[in-house]
């Protein structure tokens, strides 16, 4: 079969490799759509290395069709449409036992320890099947949208502890695919006013079309002035950093109301240590929340939201490429001109 193989840092090659062989307890999925994640770009450039093997097939956001079913697998049949949570928690560590399987100490994932989805076929090890990592995709949901159920799940996980509720004012900093998904999920949770800050006009326009109430170009306008104007001088109930820029951490803290919740959703590059005005957290009793990966239950919620139309991810896919153009696709994903780039093997 053909696959995009990460040979070493900065070298991703489209080539023929041996197709995976499954045993009686495994599944083989024909990959129909595989989207490129910011994390894949960081892996490509060697900025993320944990669990990454060389050479290997990377990629962890995908949807496809069951191509082959092991004799002992009873839950799936050939031809079924599915998408997957690529992270497998161990089930037994402190975090797994305390409702935080997304930060499991022994987790393994497709696209890291196991070969990923930038290939015609992907093998699904038995535990992913028995532990509920696979979700069936309704026929009316295109594969390209099914592939986005994974990043949407990460957004749902990130918003869980933010407790966005009816009437909240939410500020989202950054309107990449993740910022746009945050906007959609916040809206579905009942936020009444969503302000999105984004310097790139194309992305600003997109998030506006998707229903953001106010969009602002932070280069030309003060986000803080705007947020105070929009909240009777109080500040926002919730602020979500959907871009890992150390320069905006203090601004995010300064635009939240007292008792406001701030999500540091986006990761920062290793070693980035922005100075933080800790008195903002102290005197304003702010709640600062992190976010990592997803839980299996989020994938179920994600597919439900997509299937019902509560979120509409279709238009987020701005560019599709055949698998043989994987290097062009990566370049497009990095260019900032695309929202979400999807490979169709």
**Binding site residues, Zn ion, CB under 5 A:** 37, 39, 89-90, 93, 96, 104
Of residues 101 and 120, the one with the C-beta less far from Zn ion? 101
Of residues 58 and 104, the one with the C-beta less far from Zn ion? 104
Minimal distance in Å, beta carbon 89 to Zn ion?
5
CA atoms within 13 A on the CB side of 34: 31
Minimal distance in Å, beta carbon 109 to Zn ion?
10
Of residues 126 and 230, the one with the C-beta less far from Zn ion? 126
Closest CA to 256 of 277, 271, 275: 277
Minimal distance in Å, beta carbon 111 to Zn ion?
8
Minimal distance in Å, beta carbon 154 to Zn ion?
7
Of residues 93 and 287, the one with the C-beta less far from Zn ion? 93
Of residues 33 and 104, the one with the C-beta less far from Zn ion? 104
Minimal distance in Å, beta carbon 103 to Zn ion?
8
Minimal distance in Å, beta carbon 91 to Zn ion?
6
Of residues 43 and 305, the one with the C-beta less far from Zn ion? 43
CA atoms within 13 A on the CB side of 279: 0
Closest CA to 172 of 255, 262, 240: 240
Minimal distance in Å, beta carbon 319 to Zn ion?
17
Minimal distance in Å, beta carbon 100 to Zn ion?
9
Residues 277 and 250: beta-carbon distance below 8 Å: yes
Of residues 132 and 259, the one with the C-beta less far from Zn ion? 132
Structure token pair of residue 52: 């990454």
Minimal distance in Å, beta carbon 249 to Zn ion?
23
Of residues 37 and 306, the one with the C-beta less far from Zn ion? 37
Of residues 131 and 327, the one with the C-beta less far from Zn ion? 131
Which H, E and C letters describe the chain, residue by residue?
Answer: CEEEEEEECCEEEEEECCCCCCCCCCEEEEEEEEECCHHHHHHHCCCCCCCCCCCEECCCEEEEEEEEECCCCCCCCCCCEEEECCEECCCCCHHHHCCCHHHCCCCEEECCCECCCCECEEEECHHHHHCCCEEECCCCCCHHHHCCHHHHHHHHHHHHCCCCCCCCEEEEECCCHHHHHHHHHHHHCCCCEEEEECCCHHHHHHHHHCCCCEEECCCCCCHHHHHHHHCCCCCEEEEEECCCCHHHHHHHHHCEEEEEEEECCCCCCCCCCCCCCHHHHHHHCCEEECCCCCCHHHHHHHHHHHHHCCCCCHHHEEEEEEHHHHHHHHHHHHHCCCCEEEEEC
């Amino acid at each position: 079969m053909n696959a995009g193989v990460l040979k070493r840092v900065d070298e991703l090659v489209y080539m023929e490799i041996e197709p995976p062989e499954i045993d009686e307890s495994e599944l083989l999925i024909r990959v129909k759509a595989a989207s490129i994640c910011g994390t894949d770009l960081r892996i490509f450039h060697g900025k993320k290395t944990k669990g990454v093997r060389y050479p290997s097939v990377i990629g962890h956001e995908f949807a496809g069709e069951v191509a082959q079913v092991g004799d002992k697998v009873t839950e799936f049949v050939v031809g079924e449409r599915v998408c997957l949570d690529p992270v497998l928690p161990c089930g037994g560590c402190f975090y797994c036992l305390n409702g935080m399987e997304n930060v499991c100490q022994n987790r393994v994932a497709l696209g890291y320890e196991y070969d990923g989805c930038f290939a015609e076929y992907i093998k699904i090890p038995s535990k992913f099947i028995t532990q509920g990592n696979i979700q069936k995709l309704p026929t009316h949901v295109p594969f390209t949208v099914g592939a986005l159920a994974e990043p949407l799940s990460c957004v749902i996980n990130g918003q869980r502890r933010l407790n966005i509720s009816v009437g909240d004012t939410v500020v989202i900093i950054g309107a990449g695919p993740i910022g746009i998904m945050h906007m959609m999920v916040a809206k579905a949770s009942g936020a009444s006013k969503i302000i999105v800050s984004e310097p790139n006009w194309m992305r600003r326009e997109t998030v506006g079309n998707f229903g953001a109430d106010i969009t602002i170009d932070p280069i030309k306008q003060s986000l803080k002035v705007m947020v105070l104007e929009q909240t009777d001088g109080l500040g926002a109930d919730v602020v979500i950093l959907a871009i890992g820029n150390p320069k905006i951490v203090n601004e995010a803290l300064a635009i939240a109301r007292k008792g406001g919740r701030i999500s540091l959703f986006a990761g920062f590059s290793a070693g980035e240590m922005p100075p933080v005005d800790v008195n903002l957290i102290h005197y304003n009793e702010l709640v600062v929340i992190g976010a990592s990966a997803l839980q299996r239950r989020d994938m179920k919620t994600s597919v439900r939201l997509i299937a019902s139309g509560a979120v509409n991810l279709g238009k987020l896919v701005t560019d599709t490429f055949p698998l043989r153009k994987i290097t062009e696709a990566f370049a497009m994903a990095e260019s900032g001109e695309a929202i979400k780039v999807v490979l169709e093997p």
